[in-house]
Amino acid sequence: MDEAAVGTRRTSGDEARTIQSPSEPSLWREFLRGFLRVLRANPLTFIGFILVLIISVVALLVVLVPLVSSVILGHTVLVTPYDPNALSTDYGQPPSASHLLGTDNLGQDVFSRIVAALPLDLAIGFGITGFALLVGGGLGLVAGYWDEPRTIGGAVSVIILRITDVFLAFPSLVLALAIAASLGRGTGPSMLAILLTWWPYYVRLARGEVLAVKHQPYVMAARAGGVSEVRILFRHVLRNLAEPLLVYYTLDVGTVIVTFSTISFIGIGVPLGVPEWGSMVESYERFLLTLPWTVLSAGAAIFVTVLAFSLFGDGLRDILDPRSRRALVQAAVPSTLAAKVAAAAEA
Amino acid sequence: MDSPLTDQFWAYLSSLVTGDWGTNPTTEIPVLSTISTAFPATLELVLASLAIMTVLGIPLGVIAANGAGRWADHFVRTFYLSGWATPTYLGAVILAIGVGPVLGLPTKGDFSSTPTFPRPTHMSVVDALLNLNLPAAGDAVLHLILPASALAFLNLGIATRMTRTSMLEVLPLDFVKTARMKGLSEFRVLYKHALRNALITTITILGLTAGVLLSGTVVIENIFQWPGMGEYAFGAITGYNFKGTIGVVIIFAIVVVISNLIADVLYGLLDPRVEWR
């Protein structure tokens, strides 16, 4: 039972707040300490974290630099070495110092196109997953917390769960493809199609966690202490939910990027000319043997991004889950112990 | 078309029940008859890839768990993470255009030439075997290798990851230690004693991957021109064949529900602690 829980059981209302507040900074410090320890103990997580950081910073720069430069300097400055849509006579050039990832069949710089596609793919990954987290997580919270049979809450819970079941029966990519095809081609309809199919997983996940948490002794203690239901929900239940949802969110960003790029690969995603990794693989696939750097670079961009998010998500689970954190730290201990023993023996 | 949406929806539902799923607007071929010939081909592809996932994925999971934290574990983890991070279409394109021609494996369709024998099941290998046509069966197996491998590689991680996790839970238990103390060989300890108990979760999860595998067929069948549901779905979605699209989505949903049911039943059969009420 954590400190905050003890505080809530012994006191109620405002007193509980005063007991919890001093522990807030130490919670953050503990999180940061655990984070650094896991990064040190697990090189794969470290690589994932660094990659996610680089990808996010580059995506921000690609969006912000042209905007800021057009306001301050009066003309647009691009982060990419070339205009991603500019055609040139340098077509089919292999990777070199002037074209880091070579040029495609139209003379466009492949590196510039891959970097230019980064903000769109990343925004879609974060945006759709964020929406699914809010909607699905919220519905799951309600469905799990108020699930007493023969009450209004119970009836709402049943309705939410049955609608979720209907959506879960359809493979999400196929349903998204069907919806995107009916809504019409383009970035917006494809995003909407994924949005509509993505939230049910979060309902199931959130509901499962709420059911596990709401019968814990500290929740009952809070209720016995006179804490209001809404406060218990947000202060005690939601906090325990944040951990698994955050991990799932991080892992899911990569999956959404792959799904969107698949829709683009099929040809109903982004319009022609807009740099996007999936549509780049589709347009370059016939050059796999003649201009391999084109298709392989676009594919590698998706591969690295998804891998980065999955490594980071796995690591985040290790940091947030006390059991894995302990196991990792224990795994790191013997080497330190051995070093100490060796040093003592030498002395 | 003039009637209210609710009436149109009711009319569509009624015709679904009576077996009239509409026709393809360009070819005028009924949706249900196309689905009935395309579905077995997809089933064959999915079963073949499930077989590859089981035969390759489970031992890899055992190897990773047995050497947890060592190079074998890191290698297996990197392998399955690569499969998971590779988009379906990318893996399929590389296998179809890069690997296939190098290995001399066929990359298009289910037979080299249109078969002249009757096709009662519409599954290439099964039909060839039923007609006792061994060369055709060999040809069908060769055609199956690349699409099934593409589908399996991308989902191999699920089987490997689940086996690794459940083996890690089982390996420290007393009965495994007892088996080791009795002097049994490492192979028998791992595969006969530990794996049997670890397999329950893996099999359940494999049943739940039906949706992922079916989604994969939409892209893979198109790239390998496999005459199944995925190829039909791709054509229907990109060709504004709405009746075909709805038909495919309904069939996929039915398959997902049935495979989840099979996974649940298998779970009950494999784990005696689960009671049927």
pLDDT category, B276, cuts 50, 70, 90?
low
- Are the CB atoms for A266 and B234 separated by under 8 Å? yes
Alpha carbons B143 and B147: distance in angstroms, whole number: 8
Q: With an 8 Å Cβ cutoff, are B90 and A306 in contact?
A: no
Of A177, A295, A303, the CB nearest to B85: A303
pLDDT category, A83, cuts 50, 70, 90?
confident
User: Does the CB of B55 have a partner CB in chain A at under 8 Å?
Assistant: no
The helix/strand/coil state of A147 is: coil
Q: With an 8 Å Cβ cutoff, are A285 and B97 in contact?
A: yes
Return the H-helix or E-strand segment holding A167.
helix A152-169
Distant-in-sequence contacts of B75-82, Cβ < 8 A, 24+ apart: B76/B160, B76/B164, B77/A44, B79/B156, B79/B160, B80/B156, B80/B157, B80/B160, B80/B161, B81/A307, B81/A310, B81/A311, B81/B157, B82/A303, B82/A307
Alpha carbons A188 and A88: distance in angstroms, whole number: 30
What pLDDT shows up at residue A14? 44
* pLDDT (mean) for A137-165: 90
Hey, what amino acid is at A11?
Answer: T
Nearest-Cα distance to chain B for A178, in Å, is: 6
pLDDT category, A73, cuts 50, 70, 90?
confident
* List of chain B residues whose C-beta atoms are within 8 Å of the C-beta of residue A174: 214-215, 218, 233, 248-249, 252
- pLDDT tens by residue, A204-263: 999 988 988 888 899 989 989 999 888 898 888 888 888 888 888 988 999 899 999 999
Nearest-Cα distance to chain A for B197, in Å, is: 23
Q: How far is CA A69 from the centre of its chain?
A: 30
What pLDDT shows up at residue A203? 93
What pLDDT shows up at residue B178? 92
What pLDDT shows up at residue A20? 47
- pLDDT tens by residue, A1-43: 344 444 444 444 444 444 444 455 677 777 777 777 767 777 7
The answer on pLDDT for A334 being more than 50 is no
User: Does the CB of B19 have a partner CB in chain A at under 8 Å?
Assistant: no
Q: With an 8 Å Cβ cutoff, are A288 and B94 in contact?
A: yes
What pLDDT shows up at residue A342? 47
**DSSP code of B271?**
-
For A175-184, B20-29, B83-92, which range has the lowest pLDDT when averaged over its residues? B20-29
pLDDT category, A328, cuts 50, 70, 90?
low
Nearest-Cα distance to chain B for A345, in Å, is: 28
Chain position carrying tokens 């392989």: A296
Average pLDDT, chain A: 82
- Are the CB atoms for A108 and A85 separated by under 8 Å? yes
Q: Which residues of A211-245 are buried (b: 16+ CB within 10 A; e: fewer)?
A: eebbeeebbebbeebebeeeebbebbbbebbebbb
* pLDDT (mean) for A136-149: 90
Nearest-Cα distance to chain A for B130, in Å, is: 33
The answer on pLDDT for A167 being more than 80 is yes
The answer on pLDDT for A277 being more than 80 is yes
Question: In this prediction, what percent of chain B has a pLDDT beyond 90?
Answer: 22
Q: How far is CA B188 from the centre of its chain?
A: 29
The answer on pLDDT for B202 being more than 90 is no
Search chain A and give the residue with CA nearest B68.
A331
For A127-131, A286-290, A338-342, B151-155, which range has the lowest pLDDT when averaged over its residues? A338-342
* pLDDT (mean) for B184-207: 84
Phi, psi of B110 (to 5 degrees): -110, -15
Nearest-Cα distance to chain A for B88, in Å, is: 8
* Chain A interface test: which of B90, B224, B259 (most A C-beta within 10 Å): B90
Single out the residue of B153, B149, B139 nearest to residue B110, CA to CA: B139
* List of chain A residues whose C-beta atoms are within 8 Å of the C-beta of residue B90: 281, 299, 302-303
> Chain A interface residues facing chain B, Cβ-Cβ under 8 Å?
44, 169-175, 177-178, 181-182, 254, 258, 261-262, 265-268, 278, 281-282, 285-286, 288-289, 295, 299, 302-304, 306-307, 310-311, 331
ipTM over 0.85: no
* List of chain A residues whose C-beta atoms are within 8 Å of the C-beta of residue B222: 266
* pLDDT (mean) for B42-58: 91
Residues 6+ apart with CB under 8 A from B109: B143, B224, B225, B226, B227
The answer on pLDDT for A331 being more than 70 is no
Question: In this prediction, what percent of chain A has a pLDDT beyond 70?
Answer: 84
Between these two residues, A197 and B26, which has the higher pLDDT value?
Answer: A197
- Helices A172-183 and A238-266 pack at an angle, to 10 degrees, of 60
Q: With an 8 Å Cβ cutoff, are B252 and A170 in contact?
A: yes
* Chain B interface test: which of A177, A259, A281, A309 (most B C-beta within 10 Å): A177
- pLDDT tens by residue, B160-169: 888 888 888 8
* Chain B interface test: which of A170, A174, A268, A335 (most B C-beta within 10 Å): A174
What pLDDT shows up at residue A23? 52
Nearest-Cα distance to chain B for A170, in Å, is: 5
* pLDDT (mean) for B138-166: 88
* pLDDT (mean) for B62-68: 84
* pLDDT (mean) for B177-181: 91
* List of chain B residues whose C-beta atoms are within 8 Å of the C-beta of residue A311: 81
Nearest-Cα distance to chain A for B56, in Å, is: 22
* Chain A interface test: which of B88, B89, B151, B260 (most A C-beta within 10 Å): B89
The answer on pLDDT for B42 being more than 90 is yes
What pLDDT shows up at residue B275? 63
Nearest-Cα distance to chain A for B176, in Å, is: 21
pLDDT category, B225, cuts 50, 70, 90?
very high
**DSSP code of A109?**
B
What pLDDT shows up at residue B271? 75
What pLDDT shows up at residue A333? 46
What pLDDT shows up at residue B207? 77
Search chain B and give the residue with CA nearest A254.
B85
* List of chain B residues whose C-beta atoms are within 8 Å of the C-beta of residue A181: 237-238, 240, 245
CA angle B221, B225, B226 (to 5 degrees): 60
The answer on pLDDT for A145 being more than 50 is yes
Single out the residue of B213, B176, B215 nearest to residue B197, CA to CA: B176
Q: With an 8 Å Cβ cutoff, are B98 and A289 in contact?
A: yes
Q: With an 8 Å Cβ cutoff, are A281 and B215 in contact?
A: no
Q: For the whole model, what pTM was predicted?
A: 0.83
What pLDDT shows up at residue A6? 41
Average pLDDT, chain B: 86
User: Does the CB of B248 have a partner CB in chain A at under 8 Å?
Assistant: yes
